[in-house]
Amino acid sequence: MKKDRFLGMIRLYYIQKFKDFFYEKSLSCWLDSVFSYFNA
């Protein structure tokens, strides 16, 4: 039981990390397109 709980915590941690990474990537891509739009 403890092991399952531990694995669940690890999975949640990695999902959160992946979300943060994906969010930052998409945000920076969006900012790049906005800046290039205004600089054009």
> What tens-digit pLDDT sequence spans the chain (40 residues)?
688 999 999 999 999 999 999 888 998 999 899 989 888 6
pLDDT value of residue 1: 67
Q: How far apart are the C-alpha atoms of 31 and 40, rounded to whole Å?
A: 14
**Domain coverage including residue 5:** 1-40
The structural domain count of the chain equals 1
Residue with tokens 């092991």: 3
pTM of the model: 0.52
